[in-house]
C-alpha cells in the first residue's frame, strides 16, 4: 500500500512560485509551480500520492500532462499567445516517486508561421527521468 502522508502543502523551492494561470484540470492535478526569474521557463511539481499509479510511482499520463503544461508555458513565454497541442511525445527513463520535486526545463526549438516546436527534459535532482517533445499551434487570441 502506498503511503498517504505526502498530501500536505509543500512550499515550492527557492526561485519558484505556485502558478496563478491554471485551468480546472491543473487545479485538480497540481499544484504546478513556475520559475520566477526573468527568462526562466522552468516548471515544477511536488509529486503527490494522487499523481501515482498502483505501483507507487508517478503515472505516465500525469508525467505527460505535466510536460504538456510546461511546454505550453514555454510557447506562451516565447509568443505571448495561447496555444493548443498538436503532437506530444513523452519518453520515460526512470521512476518518479511521491515526495520528489519534478522539474521541467523546456526549450523552444523553432517558431514559424504559428507552429512552435518545443522540448523539455524532466529531472528529479540531477537525474533525467523523462523527456517530452511537442508541436503547438498558437491561437490568434491572447490571454485575458
Query: Can you give the pTM of this predicted structure?
Result: 0.87
Peptide bond into 50 cis (omega under 30): no
> Residues 50-107: pLDDT tens digits?
999 999 999 999 999 999 999 999 999 999 999 999 999 999 999 999 999 999 999 9
What separation in angstroms does the CA of 135 have from each of 4, 61, 74, 116? 36, 18, 12, 6
Pair 18, 33: CB distance under 8 Å: yes
Amino acid at each position: 500500500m502506498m503511503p498517504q502522508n505526502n498530501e500536505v502543502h509543500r512550499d515550492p523551492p527557492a526561485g519558484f512560485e505556485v502558478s496563478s494561470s491554471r485551468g480546472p484540470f491543473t487545479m485538480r492535478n497540481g499544484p504546478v509551480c513556475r520559475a520566477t526569474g526573468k527568462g526562466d521557463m522552468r516548471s515544477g511539481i511536488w509529486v503527490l500520492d494522487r499523481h501515482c499509479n498502483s505501483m507507487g510511482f508517478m503515472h505516465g499520463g500525469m508525467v505527460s500532462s505535466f510536460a504538456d503544461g510546461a511546454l505550453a508555458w514555454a510557447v506562451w513565454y516565447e509568443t505571448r499567445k495561447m496555444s493548443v497541442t498538436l503532437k506530444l511525445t513523452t519518453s520515460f527513463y526512470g521512476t518518479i516517486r511521491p515526495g520528489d520535486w519534478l522539474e521541467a526545463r523546456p526549450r523552444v526549438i523553432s517558431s514559424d508561421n504559428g507552429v512552435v516546436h518545443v522540448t523539455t527534459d524532466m529531472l528529479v535532482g540531477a537525474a533525467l527521468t523523462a523527456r517530452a517533445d511537442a508541436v503547438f499551434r498558437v491561437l490568434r487570441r491572447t490571454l485575458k
